[in-house]
Chains A and B, each alone.
Chain A
Amino acid sequence: MKLIITFLLSALFLFASDSNHLKVKILENILSEISINEPIKIWSDDVKILTEFKHSSKFKTTTKCGDANIIVLQRKKNLTPKCRRKHIFVLSYDLLSDIDNSFGALFWKKGRPNIIILQPRVKAQSIAVSKNLDPYLEEKIW
């Protein structure tokens, strides 16, 4: 799995300009490595990502934030109050600070894709994380 993620990161690195499909594939791989004690159901404020998930992902999706248990968030303003307590995976480094219970992020830094999984939040939300995600685990936001 580690290899797959590395490969996908490399591929995403190469095809960054047209990355939605690969972005979803990476997200799918990340989410496959976590466990929340119930089947994952995804909602995203990015319609393209949600559509991509719907067509290619093994995870269930929903168009209602309230029905989801994992939220892939692009913008903070799209997060409604009733969804704030759900497991949130953000698509920007800054959102990790802005949204207290966001447990991880996939974002671009210097043109390269980066993944961060925040260990304290994962623990707090009782999310089980596979060892394959160890290289991306962070204790805090810098």
Chain B
Amino acid sequence: MVNKKEVFLFLLLFSLGIFFIFIYLYIKQAEKDIFTKIEINRIEQISYLFQNIEKDIIDNNKIKNSKQLIKLLYNAKTRKKYEKYLSFIATPSIKYIYLLTKDNKGRFRFLLDASKIDKANFFEKFDVTNQKYKALYITKEAQIIRQEDMENLFLTYIYPIKVDEQIIAVLSVDITTKIKQTLIELTKPLETFFIILVIFVFLFVAMTIIQVFHYFITRKKIFTDPLTQLYNRNYLAEVSPMLKLENYSVAMLDLDKFKVINDTYGHKAGDFILAQSAQILKNSTRGSDILIRYGGEEFLLFIYKRDNDNNSTLKICERIRKNIDTNKFIYDYNEIQVQVSIGIHEHPHLEKNLNEAIKIADKMLYIAKTKGRNRVINYIDSKKDTHVKSNNLDFVKDAIDDNRVVCFYQPIYNYLDKTILKYEALVRIIDKHGEIISPIFLLEDLKHTNIHYKLTQRILFIIFEKFKNIDKHVGINLNFSDLINEDIEKTILDAFKKNPNLASRVTIEILESDEIKNIPLFKEKIELMHSYGAQVSIDDFGSGYSNFKTILDIEANFLKIDGSLIKNIDINEKDFKVVKSIIHFAKVANMKTIAEFVHSQEVYDKLLPLDLDYMQGYYIAEPSPTLLNVKDLF
């Protein structure tokens, strides 16, 4: 899109340009008005003088017609006298003053000429071409002739000398351009300034227009992949901030075994397949969908969701898959089989951002590949089997929004001195019918989604509120991704800082089965928790693939043996041996051991001879919304 700043700049410059033109025209008009005022003023003065001269010549000499006037002025003395009168009018700006008459052939002739220079002889012919002379004879009114660039003349005023309404002569005065020139010279710098200003402004406007034009020309190149003619990742970066994710599903598409095509038929064939496939993808989607070449043979598709068609995403993806699968790709006489795998996330708006949504769609694509390729895997579908009460993330989101997230607490029992060491906090959701649901299976699906972090934050808030003022210990389950999440870390540390006695009563239980990819970061976060006095427990130990060295390095306080090893310990000798070994390892590593999933007396009794520290399970106490006391156990 064109930058808003550029549009603003363009409009500003354009407005300035118009404004300056207006000012320029205004100055020109003002200049004209000044000239007109000067003109009127001068002419008024001259007009009065001419009236007097007319009166003097006509009345004093009883002139009745032009012949008598010519006869009168034929006399050189008389001429001299009247020329002297006329010369009184002369000023530096009045160049010529003369009296004309028409001869019998209609030609003008000089009768008097009071001009100091270029003086005409008596009765010398004077060629006039201006129509105002004709107008004077028709209207019998004085006329003003505006002279343009004529020998420094500004205007000529012609005044009719009349006897009985008959014009017998014309008094004429030529005014020089001196005043006009002075005024023009005065206003010239201002005019020039505005002209330059307008030129500059319009140059800038032109430059802005050229830039915008250039932008639109290059935009297509910048945002288009030259091979497939689809949008590229630049376009994604450009539009992603403006995309309303709630209106779209996100699909990741990848051509199956494309490397094999490249290796077998060559890169040119690969390019051909890419271009052809892109065309099929384009033809299989709608104008409202956005198709982007995301990587080599990977495409990203934003599918516009229409209110009346809930299945449009799946339909389009299936159509794409089928169209690719059934198309005959023939390159260099070879028919090449091409298929596509597609991963879909139908509700990208539920994720923290677009990248997270793309990641999930990519995960679904990965599943599609691992399941045998040439298929469509929908994020919602992939979770269907594991959902207990709901098959979409909205269930958890709604629960958070409606404040239906609660915590249950299960005691961790010290069987040696018959006391409760602490309580493990377990999340529960009250569904819309009031039923308490354990979201244990849902949690796996929530992993890495924004809702998961929101849920964790809500749980932390509930736990900290409950334990900040009571002298009890609590264990909180977190996974590695929670631990490195800035918002969650802030929530924990803020609570620790506000309640100095709280941290020492909190045990962070880190799931051992959780993928801990960044060991140094993991250690750093554990050390941070330790620094506030919080304890750390390795949860579900024995179920995952722990690095023993890492377990030792982080100096965990507790090691909780995974329930899968405990639940059948009374009947499974192998489990018993594994548990025994873990207890031995923990002792050596100076960690207290906790056995979870103690669900029967048999299991409890079997564990007694082992050098365990604590036990937890339904046999001892079920999770409860309240904190149970020792008397409530068993």
Question: Which residues of A are in contact with B by a Cβ distance under 8 Å?
Answer: 6, 9-10, 13-17, 93, 108-116, 135-136, 138, 142
Contact = CB atoms under 8 A, between A and B. Distances in A.
Contacts of B405: none
**Nearest 4 CB-CB pairings of A with B:** A111-B151, A142-B123, A114-B127, A142-B124
Interface string B30-71: 000000000000000000000000000000000000000000
B445 interface: no
A138 B150 contact: no
Contact of A116 (B122, B125, B128): B125
B539 interface: no
Interface string B4-43: 0000000000000000000000000000000000000000
B115 A13 contact: no
B121 A115 contact: no
Size category of the B interface is 20 to 34
B150 A109 contact: no
Interface in B254-283: none
Contacts of A13: 129, 150
A14 B150 contact: yes
B122 A142 contact: yes
A10 B129 contact: yes
B153 interface: yes
B126 A14 contact: no
A109 B120 contact: yes
Interface of B: 96, 98, 105, 107, 109, 115, 118, 120-129, 147-153, 174
A29 B148 CA distance: 25
Contacts, number: 60
A113 B152 CA distance: 14
A9 B149 contact: no
Given A6-B129, A14-B150, A17-B149, A109 B107 contact: no
Given A135-B107, A142-B121, A142-B122, A111 B150 contact: yes
Which secondary structure characterizes the binding site on chain A?
mixed
Given A16-B150, A17-B149, A112 B124 contact: no
Contacts of B151: 16-17, 108, 111
A82 to B, nearest CB: 31
B485 to A, nearest CB: 86
Listed residue (A9, A113, A115, A142) with the most chain B CB atoms within 10 angstroms of its CB: A142
Nearest to A114: B127
A112 B122 contact: no
A110 B348 CA distance: 90
Contacts of B152: 111
B127 A112 contact: yes
B557 to A, nearest CB: 106
Given A108-B151, A114-B125, 7 more contacts: A10-B129, A108-B118, A109-B120, A110-B126, A112-B127, A142-B122, A142-B125
Contact of A9 (B105, B107, B123, B127): B127
A10 B129 CA distance: 7
Contacts of A16: 149-151
Contacts of A109: 118, 120, 124, 126-127
B132 to A, nearest CB: 13
A110 B152 CA distance: 11
Contacts of B150: 13-14, 16, 111-112
Given A135-B107, A142-B122, A111 B153 contact: yes
